[in-house]
Amino acid sequence: MAHVKDVYTFLHDCNARNDPKLKQFRVKYGAEAYAFYFMVLEMCREEPTYTLNVRYVDGYAHDLNLSVERFNELLDGAVCIGLLSIEDDCIFSPALLKRMEEYDAKRERLKANALSRSRGCKANAEQLQSRCSASEYIEQEQEHKQEQEIDFGGGPGGGRKRKPATAEAFKLPDRSGNERKPHPDFPLLWFSDAELERIQREAAEVGLRPEFLKFAFEGVEGWFSEGEEGQKAYRISKEHYRRVIDFGLTKALSKQKDTLSAAILEARRPQEQQELFKAPDGDGNARKPHKHYPRLWFSDAELERFYKLADSRGLKRDYRKYAFAKVDTWFGEDPKGKQVYRSSEEHYRRLVDWGLDAALEKQRLTDSTAKASGTNVQSTYLRS
């Protein structure tokens, strides 16, 4: 079979320009920012991992006909706004990664379904040829349909007919003549021993670990119980096997990927964080934990630059702590903040671009309240 070349595409919403983050990006950097963002997305899409390496910024800038300084300026702006992220020397778009994950999962599911149907058709043809003639097969299918029929009404002539799902209906054998019975852990689902063996083989071929196979049955059982379409499919026992192959295995593979990725990340995180946070700043100065906010790492030079910037923007010393507290809280509570937190370079960047504005707003509100009440609020906070 000829290899089908991957077409490097991704969804582009026609109203993307109205996205709040893109609007802010365009307001700050002009229409060039819009072109920069989507050209970076195109380059990410071309990569197998959907990420770019920060080490090759010079080449990316050349491709976009930008200076390295301008490229870095736009990149920093996109990261601060939340359009792009930088982690472990990788530039990526969280939104693109999410969409490509769904696209890849769908493509793998279709590929697995096609392979499963191809194998199933071949096996069924061989079994049918050895067991019975075509007329006998048709007879068997007609008997199966009759077992499923009941009058739904619809006037004197009657309406559509389908029997309610019963144990007798589920006891119908599979096409090889093997008897079906309830699954020991998921009694809503009925399989023959041969069908369970085929499910285990399919799971092994797609790389699903045995301990995650239960999620395939669990997903199908839940689907049968909840929606009208699922309840309809549940009434036909052969659909139990088919749905596990076509739908359940994909769910289980997704669960396995998420679980193993989280476990690997959790195991690596303490060591990785220490190494990342110990990385010097741009001038080669060593970083260390902040004395009041040990989760945040800065070099002495970074703190001095921040204090000078805060003074130039009119932030009183008593309110500096709010800048650190805001960033520290965001790193600890927001999922995106936890991701950004893993890069010590982001600690200073977020403090300057976001924490400082939060502290200035806190100072403005406090001063306004004090002025309105006619009191003089004396802050007791020490220098952060």
Residues of the chain with pLDDT under 70: 1-13, 116-171, 227, 230, 233, 261-278, 337, 339-340, 342, 344, 372-384
Strands (E) located in the chain: 52-53, 85-87, 90-92, 181-182, 190-191, 288-289, 297-298
- C-alpha to C-alpha distance for 338 and 347, rounded to whole angstroms: 11
The amino acid at residue 304 is E
- Residue in 351, 349, 352, 353 with CA at minimum distance from that of residue 282: 349
Phi first, then psi: give them for residue 55, nearest 5 degrees. -70, -20
Q: For residue 98, how many C-alpha atoms fall within 13 Å in the half-sphere facing its CB?
A: 4
The amino acid at residue 227 is G
Domains of the chain: 16-95 (1.10.10), 165-260 (no CATH), 288-373 (no CATH)
Radius of gyration of the chain (CA): 30
For the stretch 131-165, pLDDT in tens is 544 455 455 555 445 444 433 333 333 444 444 44
Please state, rounded to an integer, the average pLDDT across all residues of the chain.
75
| Six token digits for residue 384 | 């952060």
For the stretch 195-249, pLDDT in tens is 888 888 888 888 888 888 888 888 888 777 776 776 776 777 778 888 888 888 8
> Can you give the pLDDT at residue 189?
84
Phi first, then psi: give them for residue 246, nearest 5 degrees. -85, -20
Q: Which residues contact 344 (CB under 8 A, 6 or more apart)?
A: 276, 277, 278, 279, 287, 297
> Can you give the pLDDT at residue 110?
77
